[in-house]
Amino acid sequence: MDGESVERDRSERRHRDSEALGEGRTRMKVLPIAITVVLAGVTPFAAPAQQARPAQPAPQAQPTGAGPERSVDPQDQADVRALLAELEVLKGSYAQEVRRLRELDMRVQALQARVDGKTLPAQPIATAVASSPSPAPVAIPSAAAPPTTSAEGYASSPAEAAEAKEASKRSVDDVKQQVAAVFDRRLTLENAVTYNRYDRKQLTLTGFLALDAIFLGNIAIENVESDTLTYNFAARYGLNPRLTLNLDVPYIARKTVYQKGGAGGSAGAVAQEDTFGHGFGDVTVSGNYRMFMESPRWPETVLTLGVTAPTGREPYGISWEVLERDDDGFIRFAVPQEEPTGNGVWQTNVGVSVVKTADPAILFGNFGYIHSFSNSFDDLDNNPETVNPGDVQLGRSFYFGAGVAFAFNERTSLSISYSDKLSARARTRYDGQEWTKIIGSDANAGMFNLGVTYALNQHTTLVSSLGIGLTPDAPDFSLVFKVPYML
């Protein structure tokens, strides 16, 4: 009778174990279905408080009067091993689905951010996934949430989103720095190198016309070629959100080639002489005041006031070298022994700059006035044998310009502009005489400019510009390279 009772109890336990095993398998099959529903976008994915786990069969009490402890059934062990193996497979599938979910999330945010033009180049997906922590459920952002980015190509916090928004203004600020000023930069140190090329040819006629048709006298071709290399150090300090102070210190190296035809009385002979000069140029101190902030209807307006001091070598009183004289002692060809590096007079500048952002374009323009004060010099003419002291006053100058820049991304922008400077005639006055205007001293220098700015890193920008002269008084071409460093 005892044997039959033991056998019946064993049969009942096997039946209960079989039911528990079926219930655990059913629960484990629910988990992949839930993950599939989430990936299909039916409901936002939220981290579950607890993961589904297979139910463990409750321990059964030994019936009263049972015999000695029984041995583990091999079938039970096989069932447990199969259940554990299935659990490991589900865990692996769950980790894979989480990785796919993260990959999809990164792709969506990176694509949305690129459409808005507010992201850095995204890190390769494989690298981002490989460096991700252990699988864990993540929430899918709603469609109304703004796209944010990070260094890996997607945002992980509101702080990184703010940084990405700030980075999108970088190219716009670099353009504004070249046009007027950027007032939220505390201190900017700028190193710039400028190369200008001049080449002028002038037909000189000395004599008179007979019968209004026949010229009697000398005909000579004068050619002046000048290469100027300027290094400019600039410091720009922002006092407050409306005012900045600027200091510009140039150092100029210049080479000029003078050519004159008719050397020695021969029409086919050409005399040539090279002159050099280098030294500090005229130092400029200026300030920028932001009168109006940019609004949807009005551009940002900046007022500029500046003073230029005559710290360079003036072009008056320089010793000249006589290369050729006529038989009667008249100087035919003379060149300066050194090249000037400054204007020799004090100047003031007042100008207005406007900037309007129309994403992705940036419209800008400026206009201003330069006034030159008169100054006295010990010698005004270029005759090395005479000394004629007097006063010089350069002509008043007006300048204006306009252009457009395109911000391709947070690092790069391209600008196209036109600039012009109109100068009136200069005047001289020898001691004891009246003011006399110098014929040919007025000028109209028009330039067509192409510029590119590229942010090298968070603090440094490379600015390059090519200027093409459109009028005879402008340089043939001009090359500018600037490297502003923001502290």
pLDDT 10s digits, 121-150: 444 434 433 444 444 443 333 333 344 443
Q: What is the largest CA-CA distance in the chain?
A: 158
Domain count, the chain: 2
CATH number at residue 256: 2.40.160.40
The domain boundary residue, chosen from 124, 142, 161: 161
Asked whether 154 and 110 are in contact (CB, 8 A), the reply is: yes
Query: Contact 449/415 with Cβ under 8 angstroms?
Result: yes
Q: Which residue has the higher pLDDT, 132 or 398?
A: 398
On whether the pTM is more than 0.85, the answer is: no
Distances (CA, A) of 242 to 210, 291, 296, 486: 67, 8, 19, 18
Find, among 184, 127, 191, 117, the residue nearest to 147 by Cα.
Answer: 117
Do 232 and 144 lie in one domain? The reply is: no
Q: In the structure, what pLDDT confidence band is assigned to residue 199 with cuts at 50, 70 and 90?
A: confident
Residue 344 lies in a domain: yes
Among the candidates 161, 179, 202, a domain finishes at 161
The mean pLDDT value of the chain amounts to 75
Lowest mean pLDDT among 137-141, 325-329, 341-345, 430-434: 137-141
Q: For residues 322 and 289, state if they share a domain.
A: yes
64 domain-assigned: no
pLDDT at 65: 43
Residue type, 274: D
At residue 6, the pLDDT reads 55
Model confidence at 297: pLDDT above 50: yes
Count of CB atoms situated within 10 Å of the CB of 353: 22
pLDDT, position 212: 52
Mean pLDDT lowest for which of 28-37, 69-78, 327-336? 28-37
Q: Note whether 468 and 332 are same-domain residues.
A: yes
Q: Are residues 87 and 156 in the same domain?
A: yes
Whether residue 67 is contained in a domain is answered as no
Same domain, 153 and 177: no
Q: CB within 8 A of 315, min separation 6: which ones? A: 340, 342, 343, 344
Higher-pLDDT residue of 63 and 342 is 342
Report which of 380, 367, 374 is spatially closest to residue 395, judged by C-alpha positions. Answer: 374
Confidence of residue 38 (pLDDT cuts 50, 70, 90): very low
Which comes out higher in pLDDT, residue 316 or 166? 316
Which pLDDT value is given to residue 54? Answer: 46
Average pLDDT of the residues in 445-464: 92
Do 175 and 151 lie in one domain? The reply is no
Answer yes or no: is 301 within a domain.
yes
Q: 191 and 327 share a domain? A: yes
The last residue of one of the domains, among 95, 126, 161, is 161
The token pair at 189 is 């140190």
Q: Tokens representing 396?
A: 């008043």
Dist CA 294 CA 300 (whole Å): 4
Q: Which amino acid, 40?
A: A
Residue 276 pLDDT > 70, yes or no?
yes
Structure confidence at residue 482 (pLDDT): 94
The confidence score (pLDDT) of residue 217 equals 53
Higher pLDDT, 168 or 309: 309
Same domain assignment for residues 83 and 223: no
Tokens representing residue 42 in the block: 């039916």
333 burial class (0-12, 13-18, 19+ CB within 10 angstroms)? buried
- Decide if pLDDT at 257 tops 80: yes
For 29-89, the DSSP string reads HHHHHHHHHHHTTSS-----SS---PPPPPPPPPPTT--SPPPPPHHHHHHHHHHHHHHHH
Residue 350 tokens read as 């007042």
Query: 435 or 69: whose pLDDT is higher?
Result: 435
Please report whether residue 324 resides in a domain. Answer: yes
More confident residue, 276 or 49: 276
Give residue-wise pLDDT tens across range 461-478. 999 999 999 998 899 999
Domain that holds residue 219: 170-486
Residue 426, helix vs strand vs coil: coil
